[in-house]
Amino acid sequence: MYVVVDPRKGKKTVTVHSDPSSGPDGIRYRKAVPCAFGDTVTAGRWTLDTSSLKSYPADW
């Protein structure tokens, strides 16, 4: 399980990836759940409050 946070202004996304499994192309995360930047995100037994994360300009 892993969480990807893109804090760039104009994009600001959070995605929780889970359910790794083997397939013909190797091990892949089969489930991706998009979340809103600024929400508290649950990833397994952990939670991450993304409202405390800072954003930065998209061209930075």
For residue 29, give Cα distances in angstroms to 8, 11, 33, 39. Answer: 24, 22, 11, 22
Per-residue pLDDT, 47 = 95
Tell me the pLDDT of the chain (60 aa) as tens digits: 899 999 888 888 999 999 999 988 899 999 999 999 999 999 999 999 999 899 888 776
Our measurement of the distance from residue 20's CA atom to the centroid of its chain's CA atoms, rounded to an integer in Å, reads: 15
On whether the pTM is more than 0.75, the answer is yes
